[in-house]
């Protein structure tokens, strides 16, 4: 079975994991449009999740699928978090050349991989 079956999000949310969605699916905040050459400020967070040594959000992986690119996605960043001290809230600054979709995958040490995505338009 493909790993995609184990990455939970709006498009893959079996009943057995549904109750965990609100506290595991990353929330991506950024403008829907940015002018070419300008910096896109991105804030990613997970709300209401435990932050203990035995159960915490351990990482965020951020990818970008660029329109009309032969091979996607582009890996943008990998952020590792330590429990108790690091809250699952991060900020990134991106400079995008073309429109596309930002994908964020988080990893909970108890409940696995969760994803969300956000479309961004780059205005020429
Ligand atoms: Fe969890």
* CATH number of the domain within which 28 lies: 2.60.40.730
Q: Which pLDDT value is given to residue 101?
A: 98
Q: How far is the CA of 118 from the centre of ligand 1 (A)?
A: 22
Lookup: tokens for 64 = 């970008």
Q: How far is the CA of 56 from the centre of ligand 1 (A)?
A: 6
Q: How far is the CA of 20 from the centre of ligand 1 (A)?
A: 7
Number of domains making up the chain: 1
Q: Which domain holds residue 18?
A: 3-123
H runs (alpha helix) in the chain: none
pLDDT digits (tens, 9 = 90+) for 48-86: 999 999 999 999 999 999 999 999 999 999 999 999 999
Q: How far is the CA of 13 from the centre of ligand 1 (A)?
A: 15
Residues, CB-to-ion distance under 5 Å, ligand 1: 108, 110-111
Say if CB 58 and CB 88 are below 8 A apart.
Answer: no
Q: What is the mean pLDDT of residues 98-114?
A: 98
What is the average pLDDT value for the chain, to the nearest integer?
97
């Amino acid at each position: 079975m493909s790993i995609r079956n184990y990455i939970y999000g709006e498009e893959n949310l079996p009943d057995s994991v549904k109750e965990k969605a609100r506290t595991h699916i990353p929330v991506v905040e950024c403008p829907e449009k940015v002018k070419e050459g300008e910096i896109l400020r991105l804030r990613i967070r997970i709300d209401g999740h435990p932050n203990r040594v035995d159960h915490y959000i351990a990482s965020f992986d951020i990818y970008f699928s660029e329109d009309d690119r032969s091979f996607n996605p582009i890996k943008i960043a990998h952020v590792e978090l330590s429990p108790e001290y690091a809250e699952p809230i991060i900020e990134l600054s991106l400079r995008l050349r073309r429109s596309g979709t930002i994908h964020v995958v988080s990893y909970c040490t108890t409940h696995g991989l969760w994803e969300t995505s956000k479309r961004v338009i780059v205005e020429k």
